[in-house]
Structure 1
Amino acid sequence: LARRVRARFLFASTSEVYGDPEVHPQKESYYGNVNSFGPRACYDESKRVAEAMCYAYAQQEHISIRIARIFNTYGPRMHMNDGRVVSNFVLQALQNESITIYGNGKQTRSFQYVSDLVDGLIALMNSNYSMPMNIGNPDEYTIENFALKIKDLVGSTAPLEFHDAVIDDPKQRRPDITLAKLWLNWTPRVSLNEGLNKTIEYFRNELRVKHHSERNIFFPPENLHSSNTNTINSQNHNEF
């Protein structure tokens, strides 16, 4: 389609192409440290292969492509049960359940708010830069500190619960966004506290809706209406 209409093509790649990086922070020129047969390999390698295919096709068909290597992103409208660390921690904190951490919690991640990602993608599409580019927030947090921050923002008293580490889980993850600053004049603008507060409020409302829906399963509105109607009919019958 991009070839037929001469459109610019955007491929949403991922920071997972860097695997468990031995270079920190990660620049786009870093080839990564990916275990090609580990339990995470199918996702990591599929993105690496897709990047290569994009460039091969671009050279063959002379189309314009953009590749964004997206780092951890969060925000309202995330699915509550998607298994990602932000949704897991927020959901557990709101329900005052133990907050589950895999590993010792010292592994690091960088989290960007969804609107910053969108701004970065638009800027990349409008740019003349055609090589891979990191789109992420360079502020770095340990998973343990991140969990404690969410606990504090929610006001939860839930304890942290540590489990065995996941195989090939990266020990550190932080983007070098020098190229994004230089070529796109882009840097993230939403602070972690601001973004998390918006996300927490969204999840809190989603839980209210979920609980309301579950109540309606046991007490459907039509049953309540039928019950009220029967009562009224009984009262009318007694009046006569």
Structure 2
Amino acid sequence: MYNPIKTIKTNTLGTINMLGLAKRVKAKMLLASTSEVYGDPEQHPQTENYWGNVNPIGPRACYDEAKRVAESMCYAYKKQEALEVRVASIFNTFGPRMYMNDGRVVSNFILQCLQNKSVTIYGDGQQTRSFQYVTDLVEGLIQLMNSNYSLPVNLGNPEEHSIEEFATIIKKLSGSSSKIVHLKAMEDDPRKRKPDIERARLILNWFPKVELTDGLISTIDYFRNELSRNDNQWSMKQRMTY
């Protein structure tokens, strides 16, 4: 279950502890930030120079603002302590070995399809997201750490899909008979999410290489094997995050 207090503590106290450690041992600090720092964006696609549109008291605020605070702390340490920092703004990522019941849209859709349960979409399903495969993200993080660039860098796949379209793709690839159903929209659910990755291309020579369908097939196969191995004992969380 999502715990907002634990979330903000983990992201703020955890980051400041790691910054203190990096300062003491003279290490380079990598912050795994998130596209959630852009909130419900008024700029599309989102560039790293965009300051975001976040509701500071909304239901998503503890996660969104904690990541924004973490970024602020990184750059405060960079300016005051000359600490080397690298900040990756990570967009939706998926792949094998995800927690199967973590409440994320990819794992929820795949589990629902494989179990022939209703595929639940919050709202009209026209909100968009961009999904990258985990190996592309790992390559981007390695290249960012090996670079001399200290400003935030978007790491994500600029191929944009609506949530409804994404559910349909997973249903087809999994061979599911599930029905797609719409539930009440979630408060402050961003309507658009798509990274501008020009900075990553220019600075890191990085861009995603794995096609969405190829990555989904591998992930679906992993989930199917896990379900079989665990005798279908996985339970679904009621909350879904996009």
- Normalised by the shorter chain, which TM-score bucket? 0.7 to 0.9
Rg: which structure is higher? 1
Q: 1:201 aligns with which of 217, 221, 234?
A: 221
Correspondence 1:155-166 to 2 at 5 A? 155-166=175-186
- Structure 1 SS opposite 2:231: helix
Query: Which residue is 1:22 aligned to?
Result: 42
**CA distance in 2: counterparts of 1:96 and 1:213, whole angstroms:** 15
Residue 170 (structure 1) aligns with: 190
3-state SS of the aligned residue for 2:87? Answer: strand
CA contact (8 A) 2:227 2:233 kept: no
Displacement after TM superposition at 1:5 (Å): 2.5
Distance 1:84 1:188 in 2: 21
Query: What secondary structure sits across from 2:40 in the alignment?
Result: coil
The structure richer in helix per residue is 1
| Structure 1 pair 213–14 and aligned structure 2 pair: CA distance change class (3 A) | closer
Change (3 A) 1:209 1:8: same
Equivalent in the alignment of 1:41: 61
Inter-partner Cα distance in structure 1 for 2:169 and 2:204:
31
| Partner Cα separation in structure 1 for residue 103 and residue 190 of structure 2 | 16
Which runs of structure 2 are paired with 1:88-167 in the superposition (5 Å)? 88-167=108-187
TM-score by length of 1: 0.87
Deviation at 1:212, TM superposition (A): 7.5
Which runs of at least 4 in structure 1 moved beyond 3 Å after TM superposition? none
Q: If the length of structure 2 is used for normalisation, what is the TM-score?
A: 0.87
Equivalent residue number for residue 180 of structure 1: 200
Structure 2 gaps of 5+ residues are: 1-20, 235-242
- C-alpha separation between the residues in 2 aligned to 1:113 and 1:74? 5
**Cα distance in structure 2, aligned partners of 1:213 and 1:156:** 19
Counterpart position of 1:13: 33
Which of 65, 72, 93 pairs up with 1:73?
93
Distance of 2:113 and 2:146 partners within structure 1: 40
- Structure 1: gaps spanning 5 or more residues: 215-240
Which amino acid in the other structure matches residue 223 of structure 2? Answer: F
Superposition deviation, residue 95 in structure 1:
0.5
3-state SS in 2 of match to 1:176 = coil
Which one of 68, 75, 99 corresponds to residue 55 of structure 1? 75
Deviation at 1:57, TM superposition (A): 1.2
How many residue pairs get aligned? The number is 214
Deviation at 1:26, TM superposition (A): 0.1
